[in-house]
Amino acid sequence: MLRIRLAENRLATARRDGLIGGPVHLSVGQEAVAVGVSRSLRSSDRVFGAHRSHAHLLALGSSVHGLFAETLGKDTGHCRGMGGSMHLWDQSNGFYGSVPIVAATVALAVGAGLAAKLQKSSDVAVAYLGDGAIEEGIVHESLNFARIQDIPMIFVIENNLFASHMYISTRQPSDLTARFAEANRIPAAVIDGNDVVSVMETAAQAVSRARTGGGPTFIEAVTYRWYGHVDWRDDIDVGVNRSQADVVNWKARDPIARLRDAMVTKGYWSLDQDAELEANLKNEIQEAWERAMQDPYPAEESLLNRVYAK
Ligand SMILES: Cc1ncc(C[n+]2csc(CCOP(=O)(O)OP(=O)(O)O)c2C)c(N)n1
Ligand SMILES: [Mg+2]
């Protein structure tokens, strides 16, 4: 969680300073979701994200340097610099891709899950989506099809209460989305998305159910993003129902501080260990950034080389 946080904070600063050409959608504050889910996954699983997917990628074990290089448009990036922050891919770690068309990858995850089933593997698919994405029709077709075909997959809804600048109560008659799982007879769990242990335990059950033929699960993890919709700003001025007080309250539920405090209180972890971990991670992030900054851009003539994958 800390690696993801430090990496995203670096991206925020770099974007503010004009070093990154395209928008970056940050998930600082939401780290427990991707980390808790990924704990039960293996590299042959098939994970899909969307526009806010740095954490989904990194939590699978993908390299921070690859993310930085991709975001900077460098040849060493996960997509050879052709995608940027919103088109991430690292199949070696099970990340089958993110696409900024909201909800588009949900159906791809259903397809990947169906393939896993037809191949008689015990691999699972994961679709990460937001409370805004669930308003797209394709999600409802996906839920229905996943249930009817008993597809081994997990729908992970990161309900951060916002779609761009619109608060959930301005868009939906309920502030929870799990009712859509109920409508499709998919088992659902609504959990505190800032509690990594709760995410981990819920995801472990869901993944185990999918691997053993039990079909799909819907996990709604309620959380909050600390930055605004895109880039480094906090969006207090433009966010409907996004006051400074809300942000302060949600920061008090910081998933990283919560885990650290719990582990220190129970004697599993010391503040010295914590300081050492943070120092090591800061070094790692700094080195990854410096390397990515120095890496080459892709050659101009390579532009069309990877439009279609072999
Ligand atoms: C099909 C489509 N419609 C609209 C947009 C513009 N858009 C980008 S992100 C976003 C909000 C998505 O909200 P949510 O799914 O809750 O994800 P979050 O940003 O909260 O992580 C919108 C409307 C888009 N990229 N694609
Ligand atoms: Mg949202």
Side-chain-side CA neighbours of residue 274 (13 Å):
17
Nearest CA-CA partner of 220 in 160, 138, 269, 137? 160
pTM (2 d.p.)? 0.97
Query: Which alpha helices (H) appear in the chain, and where do they start and end?
Result: 2-16, 31-38, 54-59, 64-71, 104-118, 137-148, 179-183, 196-211, 244-251, 255-265, 271-294
For residue 134, the CA-to-ligand 1 centroid distance in Å is 10
Nearest atom within ligand 1 for CA of residue 133: 15
pLDDT of residue 304: 87
* Cα-to-centroid distance, 252 and ligand 1 (Å): 26
Tokens of 114: 């169906």
Q: Best of 8, 98, 164, 180 to mutate for ligand 1, by most ligand atoms within 8 A of CB?
A: 164
Q: Which protein residues touch ligand 1 with a CB less than 6 Å away?
A: 51-52, 100-102, 130-133, 160, 162-164
Give yes or no for a contact between 220 and 188, defined as CB atoms under 8 angstroms apart. yes
The minimum-distance atom of ligand 1 relative to the CA of 25 is 19
**Residue 194's pLDDT is what?**
98
Residues at Cβ < 5 Å from ligand 2 ion:
130-132, 160, 162
The per-residue pLDDT for 306 is: 79
Distance separating alpha carbons of residues 90 and 66, to the nearest angstrom: 9
Distance 229 CA to ligand 2 centre (A): 9
**Closest atom of ligand 1 relative to the 30 alpha carbon:** 21
Q: What is the pLDDT of residue 305?
A: 85
Ligand 2 center–CA 42 separation, angstroms:
26
pLDDT per residue rounded down to tens, the chain (310 residues):
999 999 999 999 999 999 999 999 999 999 999 999 999 999 999 999 999 999 999 999 999 999 999 999 999 999 999 999 999 999 999 999 999 999 999 999 999 999 999 999 999 999 999 999 999 999 999 999 999 999 999 999 999 999 999 999 999 999 999 999 999 999 999 999 999 999 999 999 999 999 999 999 999 999 999 999 999 998 887 767 888 999 999 999 999 999 999 999 999 999 999 999 999 999 999 999 999 999 999 999 988 887 776 6
Give yes or no for a contact between 158 and 223, defined as CB atoms under 8 angstroms apart. Answer: yes
